[in-house]
Structure 1
Amino acid sequence: MPMTDHFDRLAEKAQLGRDPASVRRRIEHMEHLLEGLFVVPVINRRIGLDVILDALPVAGDAVAAALGGWIIWEARNLGMSKWQMARMAGNVGFDFALGLIPWVGAIPDFFFRSNTMNLKIIKRHLDRHFPESAVVEGEIVKR
Protein backbone atom coordinates (compact mmCIF):
# COMPACT_ATOMS: atom_id res chain seq x y z
CA MET A 1 0.00 0.00 0.00
CA PRO A 2 1.48 3.38 -1.00
CA MET A 3 2.14 5.84 1.82
CA THR A 4 -0.17 8.48 0.33
CA ASP A 5 -3.14 6.10 0.62
CA HIS A 6 -2.26 5.50 4.26
CA PHE A 7 -2.07 9.24 5.01
CA ASP A 8 -5.30 9.90 3.12
CA ARG A 9 -7.11 7.32 5.25
CA LEU A 10 -5.62 8.78 8.46
CA ALA A 11 -6.71 12.27 7.44
CA GLU A 12 -10.20 10.97 6.68
CA LYS A 13 -10.45 9.28 10.08
CA ALA A 14 -9.20 12.43 11.81
CA GLN A 15 -11.80 14.47 9.86
CA LEU A 16 -9.16 16.69 8.29
CA GLY A 17 -11.10 17.19 5.09
CA ARG A 18 -11.66 20.67 3.77
CA ASP A 19 -15.21 19.99 2.64
CA PRO A 20 -17.98 21.82 4.56
CA ALA A 21 -19.25 18.63 6.24
CA SER A 22 -15.81 17.88 7.71
CA VAL A 23 -15.41 21.48 8.86
CA ARG A 24 -18.85 21.32 10.50
CA ARG A 25 -17.91 18.16 12.42
CA ARG A 26 -14.61 19.65 13.61
CA ILE A 27 -16.26 22.85 14.80
CA GLU A 28 -19.04 20.92 16.55
CA HIS A 29 -16.45 18.77 18.34
CA MET A 30 -14.45 21.81 19.43
CA GLU A 31 -17.60 23.56 20.68
CA HIS A 32 -18.50 20.43 22.66
CA LEU A 33 -15.02 20.34 24.16
CA LEU A 34 -15.16 24.00 25.15
CA GLU A 35 -18.78 24.29 26.29
CA GLY A 36 -20.25 20.86 27.04
CA LEU A 37 -17.63 18.37 28.15
CA PHE A 38 -19.55 17.11 31.18
CA VAL A 39 -22.63 17.82 33.31
CA VAL A 40 -22.46 19.40 36.75
CA PRO A 41 -24.64 16.96 38.74
CA VAL A 42 -26.54 19.20 41.15
CA ILE A 43 -27.54 21.90 38.68
CA ASN A 44 -27.68 19.63 35.62
CA ARG A 45 -25.74 22.14 33.46
CA ARG A 46 -23.04 21.26 30.95
CA ILE A 47 -19.61 22.85 31.24
CA GLY A 48 -16.41 22.45 29.30
CA LEU A 49 -12.84 23.62 29.10
CA ASP A 50 -13.88 27.24 28.71
CA VAL A 51 -15.11 27.36 32.32
CA ILE A 52 -12.45 24.99 33.66
CA LEU A 53 -9.61 27.07 32.20
CA ASP A 54 -10.83 30.06 34.21
CA ALA A 55 -9.07 28.46 37.19
CA LEU A 56 -5.78 29.58 35.61
CA PRO A 57 -5.68 33.37 35.85
CA VAL A 58 -5.11 35.11 32.50
CA ALA A 59 -3.32 32.12 30.89
CA GLY A 60 -6.44 29.96 31.01
CA ASP A 61 -8.52 32.71 29.45
CA ALA A 62 -5.90 33.21 26.76
CA VAL A 63 -5.93 29.48 25.90
CA ALA A 64 -9.74 29.43 25.78
CA ALA A 65 -9.74 32.53 23.54
CA ALA A 66 -7.15 30.91 21.25
CA LEU A 67 -9.33 27.81 20.92
CA GLY A 68 -12.31 30.05 20.18
CA GLY A 69 -10.13 31.82 17.63
CA TRP A 70 -9.49 28.48 15.93
CA ILE A 71 -13.26 28.15 15.40
CA ILE A 72 -13.23 31.59 13.78
CA TRP A 73 -10.29 30.54 11.59
CA GLU A 74 -12.27 27.53 10.38
CA ALA A 75 -15.22 29.86 9.66
CA ARG A 76 -12.92 32.11 7.65
CA ASN A 77 -11.89 29.14 5.54
CA LEU A 78 -15.58 28.57 4.76
CA GLY A 79 -15.74 32.01 3.16
CA MET A 80 -17.93 33.68 5.77
CA SER A 81 -18.45 37.43 5.56
CA LYS A 82 -16.38 39.96 7.45
CA TRP A 83 -19.48 40.96 9.42
CA GLN A 84 -20.03 37.37 10.61
CA MET A 85 -16.35 37.06 11.47
CA ALA A 86 -16.47 40.33 13.44
CA ARG A 87 -19.52 39.13 15.40
CA MET A 88 -17.76 35.87 16.26
CA ALA A 89 -14.56 37.69 17.24
CA GLY A 90 -16.65 40.01 19.42
CA ASN A 91 -18.21 37.00 21.15
CA VAL A 92 -14.79 35.50 21.89
CA GLY A 93 -13.37 38.87 22.95
CA PHE A 94 -16.27 39.54 25.33
CA ASP A 95 -15.90 36.03 26.78
CA PHE A 96 -12.16 36.67 27.24
CA ALA A 97 -12.81 40.01 28.96
CA LEU A 98 -15.36 38.43 31.33
CA GLY A 99 -12.89 35.71 32.22
CA LEU A 100 -10.24 38.26 33.21
CA ILE A 101 -12.25 39.35 36.24
CA PRO A 102 -10.43 37.71 39.18
CA TRP A 103 -12.28 34.84 40.91
CA VAL A 104 -15.75 35.77 39.66
CA GLY A 105 -14.84 35.54 35.97
CA ALA A 106 -15.99 31.93 35.79
CA ILE A 107 -19.55 32.83 36.78
CA PRO A 108 -20.40 34.95 33.70
CA ASP A 109 -18.36 32.53 31.59
CA PHE A 110 -20.64 29.78 32.87
CA PHE A 111 -23.66 31.54 31.31
CA PHE A 112 -22.14 33.38 28.31
CA ARG A 113 -21.27 30.65 25.82
CA SER A 114 -19.41 32.40 23.02
CA ASN A 115 -18.43 29.21 21.21
CA THR A 116 -22.03 27.96 21.14
CA MET A 117 -23.18 31.29 19.70
CA ASN A 118 -20.40 31.13 17.10
CA LEU A 119 -21.37 27.57 16.20
CA LYS A 120 -24.94 28.76 15.54
CA ILE A 121 -23.65 31.52 13.25
CA ILE A 122 -21.50 29.00 11.35
CA LYS A 123 -24.33 26.46 11.07
CA ARG A 124 -26.64 29.11 9.60
CA HIS A 125 -23.97 29.95 7.02
CA LEU A 126 -23.38 26.29 6.18
CA ASP A 127 -27.09 25.51 5.89
CA ARG A 128 -27.59 28.48 3.57
CA HIS A 129 -24.51 28.09 1.37
CA PHE A 130 -23.71 24.37 1.65
CA PRO A 131 -27.05 22.57 2.14
CA GLU A 132 -25.43 19.27 1.17
CA SER A 133 -23.59 19.35 4.51
CA ALA A 134 -26.80 19.50 6.55
CA VAL A 135 -26.95 17.12 9.49
CA VAL A 136 -30.12 15.44 10.76
CA GLU A 137 -29.90 13.50 14.02
CA GLY A 138 -26.12 13.17 13.83
CA GLU A 139 -26.00 11.87 10.26
CA ILE A 140 -24.99 13.69 7.12
CA VAL A 141 -27.84 13.98 4.65
CA LYS A 142 -26.84 13.63 0.99
CA ARG A 143 -29.02 15.57 -1.42
Structure 2
Amino acid sequence: MRRLATLARVARLMDTALRIPGTRIRFGADSIMGLLPGIGDAAGALVGLAVLNEARKLGLPGNKQMQMLGNLATDAVFGSVPVLGDLFDVYFKSHRRNIQIILDHFELTHEDLNGR
Protein backbone atom coordinates (compact mmCIF):
# COMPACT_ATOMS: atom_id res chain seq x y z
CA MET A 1 0.00 0.00 0.00
CA ARG A 2 2.92 2.32 0.71
CA ARG A 3 4.21 1.96 -2.87
CA LEU A 4 0.78 2.86 -4.25
CA ALA A 5 0.61 5.90 -1.97
CA THR A 6 4.03 7.02 -3.23
CA LEU A 7 2.92 6.59 -6.85
CA ALA A 8 -0.22 8.63 -6.14
CA ARG A 9 1.91 11.42 -4.63
CA VAL A 10 4.15 11.42 -7.72
CA ALA A 11 1.07 11.67 -9.98
CA ARG A 12 -0.27 14.55 -7.89
CA LEU A 13 3.07 16.37 -8.12
CA MET A 14 3.22 15.83 -11.87
CA ASP A 15 -0.41 16.70 -12.70
CA THR A 16 -2.31 18.60 -10.00
CA ALA A 17 0.02 20.03 -7.33
CA LEU A 18 -0.74 23.67 -8.16
CA ARG A 19 -3.96 25.58 -8.74
CA ILE A 20 -4.52 28.78 -10.66
CA PRO A 21 -6.00 31.15 -8.03
CA GLY A 22 -9.67 31.88 -8.48
CA THR A 23 -10.20 28.86 -10.75
CA ARG A 24 -10.59 25.11 -10.49
CA ILE A 25 -7.73 24.61 -12.96
CA ARG A 26 -4.93 22.48 -11.52
CA PHE A 27 -1.56 21.67 -13.04
CA GLY A 28 1.75 20.24 -11.96
CA ALA A 29 5.39 19.70 -12.75
CA ASP A 30 4.58 17.99 -16.06
CA SER A 31 3.02 21.19 -17.40
CA ILE A 32 5.89 23.32 -16.14
CA MET A 33 8.60 20.98 -17.44
CA GLY A 34 6.79 20.92 -20.79
CA LEU A 35 7.76 24.56 -21.25
CA LEU A 36 11.32 23.34 -21.95
CA PRO A 37 11.16 22.16 -25.57
CA GLY A 38 11.93 18.46 -25.94
CA ILE A 39 13.67 18.03 -22.59
CA GLY A 40 10.63 18.76 -20.44
CA ASP A 41 8.30 16.37 -22.23
CA ALA A 42 10.97 13.66 -22.20
CA ALA A 43 11.45 14.12 -18.44
CA GLY A 44 7.69 13.82 -17.88
CA ALA A 45 7.60 10.67 -19.97
CA LEU A 46 10.46 9.16 -17.95
CA VAL A 47 8.55 9.75 -14.73
CA GLY A 48 5.52 8.11 -16.34
CA LEU A 49 7.61 5.12 -17.41
CA ALA A 50 8.88 4.75 -13.83
CA VAL A 51 5.26 4.63 -12.62
CA LEU A 52 4.46 2.08 -15.33
CA ASN A 53 7.42 -0.05 -14.22
CA GLU A 54 6.13 0.00 -10.64
CA ALA A 55 2.71 -1.08 -11.92
CA ARG A 56 4.40 -3.98 -13.69
CA LYS A 57 6.18 -4.96 -10.48
CA LEU A 58 2.86 -4.85 -8.63
CA GLY A 59 1.48 -7.38 -11.12
CA LEU A 60 -0.78 -5.18 -13.23
CA PRO A 61 -1.99 -7.16 -16.28
CA GLY A 62 -0.46 -6.46 -19.68
CA ASN A 63 -3.63 -4.93 -21.14
CA LYS A 64 -3.73 -2.33 -18.36
CA GLN A 65 -0.03 -1.65 -18.76
CA MET A 66 -0.66 -1.04 -22.46
CA GLN A 67 -3.49 1.36 -21.59
CA MET A 68 -1.08 3.22 -19.31
CA LEU A 69 1.55 3.28 -22.04
CA GLY A 70 -1.07 4.69 -24.43
CA ASN A 71 -1.78 7.51 -21.95
CA LEU A 72 1.94 8.29 -21.75
CA ALA A 73 2.32 8.22 -25.53
CA THR A 74 -0.67 10.52 -25.98
CA ASP A 75 0.79 12.94 -23.43
CA ALA A 76 4.23 12.82 -25.06
CA VAL A 77 2.99 13.31 -28.62
CA PHE A 78 0.44 16.04 -27.99
CA GLY A 79 2.44 17.60 -25.15
CA SER A 80 5.40 18.16 -27.46
CA VAL A 81 3.47 20.64 -29.62
CA PRO A 82 4.71 24.12 -28.67
CA VAL A 83 2.25 26.15 -26.54
CA LEU A 84 -0.82 24.03 -27.38
CA GLY A 85 0.95 20.99 -25.94
CA ASP A 86 1.43 22.80 -22.65
CA LEU A 87 -2.29 23.54 -22.51
CA PHE A 88 -2.98 19.91 -23.37
CA ASP A 89 -0.84 18.80 -20.40
CA VAL A 90 -2.98 20.90 -18.05
CA TYR A 91 -6.11 19.02 -19.08
CA PHE A 92 -5.03 15.48 -20.03
CA LYS A 93 -3.18 14.51 -16.80
CA SER A 94 -1.75 11.18 -17.94
CA HIS A 95 -0.12 10.42 -14.59
CA ARG A 96 -3.40 10.75 -12.69
CA ARG A 97 -5.15 8.62 -15.32
CA ASN A 98 -2.51 5.93 -14.90
CA ILE A 99 -2.74 5.94 -11.11
CA GLN A 100 -6.49 5.55 -11.46
CA ILE A 101 -5.96 2.47 -13.66
CA ILE A 102 -3.80 0.95 -10.92
CA LEU A 103 -6.26 1.84 -8.16
CA ASP A 104 -9.20 0.47 -10.13
CA HIS A 105 -7.33 -2.79 -10.71
CA PHE A 106 -6.75 -3.26 -6.99
CA GLU A 107 -10.25 -1.93 -6.17
CA LEU A 108 -8.84 0.94 -4.11
CA THR A 109 -9.60 4.63 -3.83
CA HIS A 110 -7.34 7.59 -3.11
CA GLU A 111 -8.89 7.67 0.36
CA ASP A 112 -7.68 4.09 0.96
CA LEU A 113 -4.14 5.27 0.29
CA ASN A 114 -4.46 8.18 2.69
CA GLY A 115 -5.66 5.97 5.51
CA ARG A 116 -9.17 7.42 5.76
Give the TM-score of the pair, scaled to structure 2.
Answer: 0.91
Aligned to 1:105, the other structure's residue is in SS state helix
In structure 2, what is the equivalent of residue 139 of structure 1?
Answer: 115
How many aligned residue pairs are there? 114
By how many angstroms is 1:124 displaced? 1.1
Which residue identity lines up with residue 2 of structure 2 in the other structure?
S
Match 1:53 to one of 24, 33, 36: 33
By how many angstroms is 1:44 displaced? 2.8
Gaps (5+ residues) in structure 2? none
Which residue identity lines up with residue 26 of structure 1 in the other structure?
T
Contact 2:75 2:89 in 1 (8 A): yes
In structure 1, what is the equivalent of residue 74 of structure 2?
Answer: 94
Within a 5 Å distance, the mapping from 1:12-51 to structure 2 comes to 21-51=1-31
* Larger of the two Rg values belongs to structure: 1
Which residue identity lines up with residue 105 of structure 2 in the other structure?
H
Contact 2:18 2:28 in 1 (8 A): yes
Gaps (5+ residues) in structure 1? 1-20, 129-133
Kindly provide the CA deviation profile for residues 80-112 of structure 1, in whole angstroms up to 9, marking residues without a partner as x: 111000000000010000111122211111111
Q: Once superposed, what is the RMSD of the aligned Cα atoms?
A: 1.6
Aligned to 1:33, the other structure's residue is in SS state helix
Which residue identity lines up with residue 93 of structure 1 in the other structure?
A
Aligned to 2:83, the other structure's residue is in SS state coil
Could you tell me how far apart the structure 1 residues matched to 2:101 and 2:83 are?
A: 30
Give the TM-score of the pair, scaled to structure 1.
Answer: 0.74
Same amino acid, percent of matched pairs: 28
By how many angstroms is 1:36 displaced? 1.3
